[in-house]
Amino acid sequence: MKKFVFSLFLTLTAFCILAQDADNKDYADPTQPLVDSILALITPDMPDTAKARQYRNIGQISGTPDTVLKYSTLSLEYCDDSDLELHSDNYDYISWSYYMKNEPRPSLDYVFKELAINEKLNNKTYIANCFVSIAKCYFELNYRDSTFYFFNKAVDLYTEINDSAELAYTLRSIGFCKQKLGFTQSAIEYYTKAAELDSAVNNIPYLANDYQYIGTAEEDKWRSLDYLKKALSLLNSKYDDDYYANIIKYGTLQELASAYMKIARETNEKKYADSAYIYVKKVGNSLLQLNEYSDHLITCEIYAEYLSFYGKNKEALNVLLENEKYLDDDVNNNEIADYYELASEIYTRLGDYKNALACYKKMHEYKTTYANDSTLNVLASFQTEQAVKIHEAEKRELEAETHRLEIIRTSLIIGLALVLAVVVLIFRMLIIKRKANQELLYKNQMLDQQNSEIMAQREEIEVQRDVIANQWREVDNINKKLIDSINYARRIQYAAISLKTEVDKVFPQNMVFYRPCDIVSGDFYRVAQCGKYRVLIIADCTGHGIPGAFLSMLGISALKEFCATEEDAANPGTILDRMRNFIKSTLISDLKDAIDDGMDMTICSFDLEAMEMRYAIANQTAFVIRDGEAIKLKGDRMPVGRYVIEKEHFTTQTLPLKKGDVVYCFTDGIQDQLGGDLKNEIGEKFLRRNLLSLLTANHTKPFNTQLKMLDKAITAWSNGRQQVDDMTLIGIRV
């Protein structure tokens, strides 16, 4: 695991970080059959030491970070304290899983635990491996000095034990970090050293990887193409079944396509754009089949650039929009920024300046800047050196001045008589004293004048203080009246949404978690019995507080008309269409300007006789948890209101139900709540995957227990931070 995991670091980081977000993609884990076969061997009466090793084996063979984390942690629970090697393996796998989940801080903690064990065992190979892992975690945390300190320790140790393969990998890692920091020439030097070692041991895939990196770092476009083609020539059909070699091959084809498109834009010559298309075509959907979603997205962007180069901007835009679904939490922010930058350019060429501006703003949101602590240290060192030089110069100047004064004093003593010197000295002292007395008198006069001014200012301040106190009392009175009005509005809003007794009547087994951010809420929910259908509606209006509450009351009022009959309930998508038309026609301020506010909404109609659910979703997420598995309900990615790209109708979907299914509908307030470690002043979002994990783990428990656990989890996560949005979650058990 140790060699496999970190051997893939550079390529997986640059081209192929596996998409793990189950909210957006469904794909099979190829290692799951092996995991299941090992789990089948574990019996309740098996000794703890044997269980620990079997769980360790799952962590070793699984390619899914969550699976590795789960079973390696279980292995530690059953592991004997004296089994240091087993502890080391589990720490290694847990560190890897956190690293692949983009959480370098906990990953670093477990690497240091692994390092401490291997230093006891004096296992130099694993110690060096730990140094490399620590360096990479520090790089992700932007500690540049620490990064290269541990890289250098790994280089020294691999050199000592004569491990050429790992030494080449470490040099390649250093080159990658140097390239990310903008030191391309230094990066090329490290890639070249790695290539020399890989060539010496005839490690062809890694040698191709070295040439690929040199090609991406090389600033001269023609030399860059030569190295990329050289890398591609090494990967013949002999390596077709080698996963790592395939990643390098498709990544190299992608880099060649990108390089030729860059030359085409610079020269405006079609032959280079055609060359780019040839390489894009060779990549095809291969990266998508390998579950490399972010890399597939890059391929689509290059193809879109090719179409745009030939003036086919509509086709280029369609390519981008069709593949926007591959943008998720696992895609690097810089890659997301590149996507929106290209989309902005294409919208501009199409004359759609509104969408161009929207994409341009999104591009800037994802732009990140890395602080280089080594650069800051160099600057501090330079400033220290300059301060020392200035101090030394001042010291030399002072010494020269002192020497000059010594010469003058000696000359005066020799040239003048003692009596004349005394007379002159007394005369000078008298003059100085008289001048000092005059200055003292002037200062006393100025001081008296200032005291008078201070007294006048004090009286003026006291008058202003009284005025401010009166104004504050007036503001406090106005504020009290405003709060009283909002509290009364809250009573009106609570009367408009469905009471808990109404929810219990329509859905006997239910959970309602409703926590407004302010006194009134932009979230609302509603239940109704429409013929044979039992209807659940949950909505999140634009904004929160008073603006959101006004919009929610408008939505509740409209739904009483649009969702009233059995025919209405049978077609949730039609209800959303009517709501959208109502919102767009109602929120008009004058003939020129229209209000673009709206709401995200989920409508679920339950037919418990036929055991099916008809639903429609507008820009929200809902899940059905069945037998411990979460099923995401597909919806439309547009709100109820005006939107950049609107489909003509919302889609009504049908899902067969099973006894015991639990349906969860929620707004985005819970997943967007900021919290975590207080050392992070801004905080981190709770995220949908954490919410889904909590619901999945506890969905079989009574709803009152789930409600308490959810409230406790959100409170603990917030850690004293203020609530940022309205929170609503409703669970229904079939």
Q: Which two tokens stand for residue 635?
A: 């919806």
Average pLDDT over residues 313-319: 91
Helix (H) or strand (E) holding 62: none
Average pLDDT over residues 106-119: 94
Please check whether residues 672 and 533 belong to one and the same domain: yes
Please check whether residues 548 and 680 belong to one and the same domain: yes
Q: Check if the beta carbon of residue 106 is closer than 8 Å to that of residue 77.
A: no
Q: Decide the pairing of beta strands 523-530 and 533-541.
A: antiparallel
Q: Does residue 402 lie within any of the structural domains?
A: no
Predicted pLDDT at 588: 63
pLDDT at residue 279 tops 70: yes
Please check whether residues 488 and 547 belong to one and the same domain: no
Residue 554 CA to residue 583 CA, distance in Å, equals 9
Q: Does residue 149 lie within any of the structural domains?
A: no
Q: Does residue 411 lie within any of the structural domains?
A: no
pLDDT at residue 26 tops 60: no
Please check whether residues 191 and 260 belong to one and the same domain: no
DSSP secondary structure of 487-504: HHHHHHHHHHSPPHHHHH
Predicted pLDDT at 285: 86
- Arithmetic mean of pLDDT over the chain: 85
Q: Does residue 405 lie within any of the structural domains?
A: no
Predicted pLDDT at 665: 97
User: Cβ contacts of residue 240 below 8 Å, gap of 6+?
Assistant: 246
* Tens-place pLDDT, residues 699-719: 999 999 999 999 999 999 998
Could you tell me the CATH number of the domain that includes residue 562? Answer: 3.60.40.10
Residue finishing a domain among 179, 204, 234: 234
Provide the 3-class DSSP secondary structure of residue 633.
Answer: strand
Please check whether residues 642 and 664 belong to one and the same domain: yes
pLDDT at residue 19 tops 70: no
Q: Does residue 377 lie within any of the structural domains?
A: no
Q: Which residue has the tokens 């405003």?
A: 482
Residue 135 CA to residue 724 CA, distance in Å, equals 36
pLDDT at residue 373 tops 50: no
Residue 734 CA to residue 728 CA, distance in Å, equals 20
Domain residues for 625?
Answer: 500-733
* Tens-place pLDDT, residues 54-80: 999 998 888 788 999 999 999 999 999
Please check whether residues 511 and 523 belong to one and the same domain: yes
Please check whether residues 221 and 273 belong to one and the same domain: no
Q: Check if the beta carbon of residue 726 is closer than 8 Å to that of residue 669.
A: yes
Please check whether residues 553 and 452 belong to one and the same domain: no
Residue finishing a domain among 322, 351, 371: 371
Q: How confident is the model at residue 393 (pLDDT cuts 50, 70, 90)?
A: low
Q: Does residue 95 lie within any of the structural domains?
A: yes
Residue 602, strand partner residues:
538, 617
Q: Does residue 322 lie within any of the structural domains?
A: yes
Other CB atoms within 10 Å distance of the CB of residue 207:
24
Could you tell me the CATH number of the domain that includes residue 169? Answer: 1.25.40.10
DSSP 153: H
User: Highest mean pLDDT: which of 7-11, 249-253, 371-375, 696-700?
Assistant: 696-700
Using alpha carbons only, give the angle 541, 547, 550 rounded to the nearest 5 degrees: 75
Q: What is the pTM of this model?
A: 0.47
Distance, CA of 491 to chain centre: 39
Other CB atoms within 10 Å distance of the CB of residue 271:
10
Q: Decide the pairing of beta strands 510-515 and 621-626.
A: unpaired
Q: Decide the pairing of beta strands 612-618 and 599-607.
A: antiparallel
Please check whether residues 199 and 273 belong to one and the same domain: no
Could you tell me the CATH number of the domain that includes residue 54? Answer: 1.25.40
Please check whether residues 361 and 255 belong to one and the same domain: yes
Q: Check if the beta carbon of residue 77 is closer than 8 Å to that of residue 87.
A: no
Q: How confident is the model at residue 378 (pLDDT cuts 50, 70, 90)?
A: very low
Q: How many independent structural domains does the chain possess?
A: 5
Residue 309 CA to residue 293 CA, distance in Å, equals 24
pLDDT top residue among 613 and 16: 613
Half-sphere exposure of 307 (CA within 13 A, CB side): 21
Q: How confident is the model at residue 203 (pLDDT cuts 50, 70, 90)?
A: confident
Provide the 3-class DSSP secondary structure of residue 101.
Answer: coil
Average pLDDT over residues 657-673: 95
Residue 340 CA to residue 499 CA, distance in Å, equals 44
Other CB atoms within 10 Å distance of the CB of residue 349:
15
DSSP 634: P
Please check whether residues 569 and 688 belong to one and the same domain: yes
Predicted pLDDT at 423: 73
User: Cβ contacts of residue 296 below 8 Å, gap of 6+?
Assistant: 285, 287, 288, 323, 326
Residue 287 CA to residue 246 CA, distance in Å, equals 9
Q: Check if the beta carbon of residue 209 is closer than 8 Å to that of residue 10.
A: yes
pLDDT at residue 391 tops 60: no
CA distances from 595 to 584, 598, 641, 646 (A): 8, 9, 9, 16
pLDDT at residue 311 tops 80: yes
Q: Check if the beta carbon of residue 231 is closer than 8 Å to that of residue 212.
A: yes
Q: Residue 401, exposed/middle/buried by CB under 10 A (0-12, 13-18, 19+)? A: exposed
Distance, CA of 656 to chain centre: 36
Q: Which residue has the tokens 């999104």?
A: 362
Residue finishing a domain among 206, 234, 262: 234
Considering only CA atoms, give the Rg of the chain. 35
Q: How confident is the model at residue 669 (pLDDT cuts 50, 70, 90)?
A: very high
Please check whether residues 686 and 599 belong to one and the same domain: yes
Q: Does residue 169 lie within any of the structural domains?
A: yes
